[in-house]
Amino acid sequence: MGSGKVFLARNKALLTDTKKGKRPSPQEILKLRLALHQPAMNDVHQHLLDISTPDHPSYGRHLEKHELDDLLRPASDTVTAVTHWLACEGILETNITYQGSWITFNASVSQAESLLGTKFHEYHNGETTLIRTLQYSVPTRLWPLIATIQPTTRFGLPRAQASFMLETRDNPDPGLVSPFGDPDLLTTYNATFCNSTITPECIRGIYRMTDFQADPKAKTKLGVSGFIEEGVYFDDLEDFLKLTGASNQAHDFSIVPINNGVSDQKGVNKTAEGNLDVQYSVALARGTPVVYYSTAGRAPMLADLDQPTPSLNGSNEPYLDQLHFLLGLNSSDLPDVLTTSYAEDEQTVPFDWAREVCLAFSFLGLRGVSVIFASGDTGVGSACQSNDGKKTPRFTPNFPATCPYVTAVGGTYAVNPEIAAAFSSGGFSNYFAAPSYQVNITKAYLSRLGNQNKGYFNASGRGYPDVSAQSVRYLIENQDRAEFLYGTSCAAPTFAAIISNLNNKRLAQGKGKLGFLNPWLYSQGYQAFNDITLGRSRGCSGQDMYTGQPAPKIADAGWDAAPGWDPVTGWGTPDFQKLSNMMAS
């Protein structure tokens, strides 16, 4: 590193199975995002807590786009200093764009190496090739101004959280003839049947939402995230609604591609995750417009958010692409709820990047969006070792579920009683401290826990999940076949639809939308949830469930479902009738 520079980020070790390759062409173009430090973040976060806490005078006073823009606008001398640095390295103004505290620019590999005092290499993982570095630096005078520059040291491996298919059944007349023999089982609530198969009517019955129909005068909108080339078929949606007896209900579904995201209605290989999320969102949020935000950013086969594109090798970042798109919308175009069913090991994400993405989720909360994430499907962990080169046995929490500004949804199964799913991811973040709305709750849980699992987790970290929902054997229609999926990807859109329905009722009553849920959830909302006290999460079995590689085996690894909040089901599952009554009062 040359004089006058300071390291901004270093990676001590690569992901398992990631191999360093050759140097890229100096002319290869990279798309880099630079986040500026925002000194007033404590004030911003306090404002978010104020407008999200029911007893506060500012509760529900969410910000318009221009108000948030004004709040986050960086100082002009900060922007000038950073753009002058870029210009001195030959980065043309035409290759720079600005949004809030983020500066995005295109640079050749040779320019980026000079700019960041580093050397880039190709890194290979399976069929994926990324251009990355293990460290980079910035001028000392700019170090206080810059929070992160990515993708540089980011090697994450996010995965859809409903990647587990239990069974498929051919449907000779898709959507019209039940593959179960008795079509009434799919169109009514039958507790015995719902113990083995989940349909929209099962969810309505289990969570007491049978009579809900959205009021069209209440302008609510439910957003569904689509990443890693995951498509959605309109025909599958229509067939699913016919199959489950919901085709006569009003529904409004559209696809919004972001950066040329997938919207094709044929030739898309991967549709199970997208179809699951959309089919249950549409069926459960009756009458509410559902929008699938399909964000480009990877090639097929490996779920890596920074997958290369033909023109900008390895420099797409779908989370940020989606967040910047949504934050650029006026309030009338924003979804009130956004559900996302993707996760990755928290430790595979550079902390500086995770922090900035988490902040962006908080900005959606300031705009009044309830941000919902699946907690993950690896229980307490799968790889179960630190990636700092020491390979210390550890539980491995999932990001973005560990971000304190999202609501993480774990998984349950069975009816009367519901039971915690063994795969339901949960635990405690190694990056984010327990937030003020939660800290007393997690302390109380850990005091009851005693020495169980001691040394394998961060006792002062943000605990997750926050809530849970059914997550086993969901029936979907996928490419003209009935399929059955499990995972917290099933739980997330289910919970999101319930929150969307509550928003619809509130707006119809002249009240505001819920926005960031957690302060309300931990102070009052939990009283309207079904406490799950049976079951236990698992994990750290000695084999990585995704790669099949050997991993540390931790004896008796897991969390027990317990009275109150626990790190496998959170506060439990929603009771729509109780929640509606709570909202009315």
Question: pLDDT, tens digit, for every residue of 302-333?
Answer: 222 222 233 334 444 578 889 999 999 999 99
Give the strand pairing for 550-553 and 159-160. unpaired
- Name the DSSP class of 236: H
CB 477, CB 465: distance < 8 Å = no
How many of the other CB atoms lie within 10 Å of CB of 68? 18
Between 268 and 190, name the one with better pLDDT: 190
Q: Which residues of 326-361 are buried (b: 16+ CB within 10 A; e: fewer)?
A: bbeeeeeebbbbbbbbbbbbbbbbbebbbbbbbbbb
pLDDT exceeds cutoff 50 at 294: yes
Q: How far apart are CA 308 and CA 48, in angstroms?
A: 35
CB 402, CB 381: distance < 8 Å = no
Q: How is domain 159-540+549-584 classified at the architecture level of CATH? A: 3-Layer(aba) Sandwich (3.40)
Question: pLDDT, tens digit, for every residue of 147-200?
Answer: 999 888 876 655 555 545 555 444 433 333 344 556 677 888 889 999 999 999
- Name the DSSP class of 152: S
Which pLDDT score is estimated for 156?
A: 61
Which pLDDT score is estimated for 308?
A: 28
Strand partners, 257: 294
Question: pLDDT, tens digit, for every residue of 225-265?
Answer: 998 788 899 999 999 999 998 877 778 999 999 988 888 77
Considering the entire predicted model, what is its pTM? 0.89
**By mean pLDDT, which of 44-48, 134-138, 175-179, 191-195 is the weakest?**
175-179
Strand partners, 32: 105
The tokens describing 557, both together, are: 């690894």
Q: Is 96 helix (H, G, I), strand (E, B) or coil?
A: strand
pLDDT exceeds cutoff 60 at 37: yes
Segment holding 222, helix H or strand E: strand 222-226
Between 497 and 169, name the one with better pLDDT: 497
How many of the other CB atoms lie within 10 Å of CB of 448? 12
Which pLDDT score is estimated for 259?
A: 86
Give the strand pairing for 253-258 and 5-10. unpaired
- pLDDT band of residue 43 (cuts 50, 70, 90) is confident
Q: How far apart are CA 45 and CA 71, in angstroms?
A: 11
Question: pLDDT, tens digit, for every residue of 510-534?
Answer: 999 999 999 999 999 999 999 999 9
> For the chain, what percent of residues have pLDDT higher than 90?
66
CA distances (Å), 378 to each of 159, 217, 545, in order? 11, 41, 8
Which strands make up the sheet holding 164-170, listed edge to edge? 164-170, 481-486, 474-477
Q: Span 423-444, mean pLDDT?
A: 97
Segment holding 168, helix H or strand E: strand 164-170
Which pLDDT score is estimated for 161?
A: 54
Q: Which residues are catalytic?
A: 273, 277, 489
Catalogue the long-range contacts made by 363-366 (C-beta closer than 8 Å, 24 or more residues apart). 363/68, 363/72, 363/100, 363/323, 363/327, 364/323, 364/326, 364/327, 364/338, 365/48, 365/52, 365/405, 365/515, 365/516, 366/44, 366/47, 366/48, 366/51, 366/62, 366/63, 366/68, 366/71, 366/516
Q: How far apart are CA 137 and CA 6, in angstroms?
A: 5
Which pLDDT score is estimated for 20?
A: 87
Which pLDDT score is estimated for 365?
A: 98
Question: pLDDT, tens digit, for every residue of 333-386?
Answer: 999 999 999 888 898 888 888 999 999 999 999 999 999 999 999 999 998 998
Is 563 buried (19+), middle (13-18) or exposed (0-12) by CB count in 10 A? exposed
Strand partners, 35: 102, 148
Which pLDDT score is estimated for 305?
A: 23
How many of the other CB atoms lie within 10 Å of CB of 390? 10
- pLDDT band of residue 129 (cuts 50, 70, 90) is confident
Q: How far apart are CA 558 and CA 449, in angstroms?
A: 12
What is the domain partition of the chain in residue ranges?
5-38+74-150, 159-540+549-584
List the Cα angle 287/291/292 in 5-degree steps. Answer: 135
User: For residues 341, 344, 350 and 355, what is the CA-based torsion angle, rounded to 10 degrees?
Assistant: 30
- pLDDT band of residue 500 (cuts 50, 70, 90) is very high
Binding residues for Ca(2+): 531-532, 564, 566
Residues 6+ apart with CB under 8 A from 20: 14, 121, 122, 123
pLDDT exceeds cutoff 60 at 547: yes
pLDDT exceeds cutoff 70 at 454: yes
Which pLDDT score is estimated for 163?
A: 46
In 301-438, which ranges are continuous DSSP H helix? 318-327, 351-366
Give the chain's mean pLDDT. 88
Segment holding 340, helix H or strand E: strand 337-340
**By mean pLDDT, which of 4-8, 397-401, 487-491 is the weakest?**
4-8
Question: pLDDT, tens digit, for every residue of 376-392?
Answer: 999 999 989 988 888 99
CB 498, CB 214: distance < 8 Å = no
Q: How far apart are CA 76 and CA 111, in angstroms?
A: 25
Which pLDDT score is estimated for 270?
A: 79
Q: How far apart are CA 386 and CA 397, in angstroms?
A: 11
Which pLDDT score is estimated for 317?
A: 58
Q: How far apart are CA 174 and CA 128, in angstroms?
A: 36
CB 434, CB 463: distance < 8 Å = yes
